[in-house]
């Protein structure tokens, strides 16, 4: 895979650091770096890329406003010094959120998430419930159908017009909204905790600062879903 990307950040040093992370990687092409949203918007409207590494707090036009103005935004990763923007990011369908100062290992992990998503997306996967008492689903990946036990599923993340099913067997990208996924993964085993996330209740082990922690994953809890989560999860408030 050859991944094309751009960096948008008003801090020259931040742009230089991220560009330095990308340069040694033969499978990633840095199509441009921009110090403000105006220049980035002009470029992206005529030069489609796979990924966008986007700062949030910039003069005149913020990263949030830039992302909202793009009719078909690339897969986006927020790069910011402000943790509080994570919720807005997931609302806008970003795939990852990098908190400054950004370590190269963490940046490379974000690149891998983007590459995985784009690769799985090309397989035209679909999903259907099996007839085994609702205990499993079949995921279509290319010409194959893969059986997933519902008890193996960790959570589902909505991203644009797709959903990423995270299970103990790995990740699968399927066409469909979070709302449609909620019909396939209903209660009481699953609960929607955010506009973009559905989690398996049995997999919830830690909740901290409005986030559900599952290994390396930090899943945000949306305000409108807090009350229902509090009813179903003992001790959560």
Residue 141: give its domain's CATH number. Answer: 2.40.50.1020
Say yes or no: 9 and 109 in one domain: yes
pLDDT digit string, tens, across residues 27-41:
999 999 999 999 999
Say yes or no: 88 and 188 in one domain: no
- In angstroms, the CA 108 to CA 5 distance is 13
Domain that holds residue 52: 3-121
Say yes or no: 62 and 78 in one domain: yes
Helix axes 104-121, 12-22, angle to 10 degrees: 60
**Dihedral (C-alpha) 24, 27, 30, 31: value to the nearest 10 degrees?**
150
pLDDT digit string, tens, across residues 50-91:
999 999 999 889 999 999 999 889 999 999 888 776 667 777
- Whether pTM > 0.85 for this model: the answer is no
What's the total number of domains in the chain?
A: 2
């Amino acid at each position: 895979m050859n991944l094309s990307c751009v960096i948008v950040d008003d801090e020259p040093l931040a742009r230089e650091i991220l560009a330095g992370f990308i340069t040694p990687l033969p499978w990633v092409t840095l199509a441009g770096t921009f110090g403000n949203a105006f220049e980035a918007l002009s470029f992206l409207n005529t030069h489609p890329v796979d990924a966008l590494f986007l700062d949030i707090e910039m003069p005149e036009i913020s990263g949030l406003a830039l992302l909202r103005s793009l009719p078909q935004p690339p897969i986006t990763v927020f790069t910011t010094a402000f943790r509080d923007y994570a919720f807005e990011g997931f609302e806008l369908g970003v795939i990852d959120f990098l908190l400054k100062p950004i370590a190269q290992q963490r940046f490379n992990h974000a690149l891998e998430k983007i590459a995985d998503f784009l690769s799985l997306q090309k397989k035209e996967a679909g999903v259907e419930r099996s007839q085994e008492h609702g205990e499993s689903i079949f995921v279509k990946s290319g010409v194959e159908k893969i059986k997933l036990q519902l008890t193996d599923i960790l959570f589902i993340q909505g991203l644009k017009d797709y959903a990423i099913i995270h299970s103990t067997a790995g990740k699968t990208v399927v066409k469909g909204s979070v709302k449609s996924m909620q019909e396939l993964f209903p209660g009481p085993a699953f609960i929607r905790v955010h506009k973009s996330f559905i989690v398996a209740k049995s997999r919830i082990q830690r909740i901290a600062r409005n986030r559900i922690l599952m290994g390396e994953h930090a899943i945000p809890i949306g305000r409108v879903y807090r009350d229902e989560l509090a009813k179903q999860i003992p001790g959560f408030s």
